[in-house]
Homo-oligomer: A and B are copies of this chain.
Amino acid sequence: MRRDVFQAIADPTRRAIILLIAAQAMTPNAIADHFNTTRQAVSKHLRILTECELVQQEPRGREIYYQLQVAKMKDVEEWLAQFRTLWESRFNELDQVLADMKNSEIGSVNE
């Protein structure tokens, strides 16, 4: 199934998993130990994360280590970037307003 990063990070448990394996790759069992769900539920989350390539499998014997693909998070970063200029300009506008206020204040107080 075609998966979407935005849909993947919509679930709080998946965000927690992402955060958990960010530091180091972990096996499904090890991950499941950190949550109040079954291993199979975690496995389903990992499947979704894998499908959208946020996570990569690393088989080692009978264990499978799941590693975060940090680069994939740039999908979100890029979407967000569309608005960064917007909110920065908003703040610049605010700066301008504040500057104007200060000016008029000086003006009213002037000599």
Interface set of A (CB-CB < 8 Å, partner B): 4, 6-7, 9-10, 12, 15, 19, 22, 70-71, 73-74, 76-77, 79-80, 82-83, 86-87, 90
Neighbour of A82 across the interface among B22, B87, B90, CB < 8 A: B22
Question: Closest residue to A10 on the B side, CB-wise?
Answer: B10
Interface of A is mostly: helix
* A86 nearest CB across to chain B (Å): 5
Decide: A70 and B87 in contact? CB cutoff 8 A.
Answer: yes
* A93 nearest CB across to chain B (Å): 12
Show 11 residue pairs from A and B whose CB-CB distance is below 8 angstroms, ordered by the A residue. A4-B10, A4-B12, A6-B9, A9-B10, A15-B79, A22-B83, A70-B90, A71-B90, A74-B87, A76-B76, A77-B80
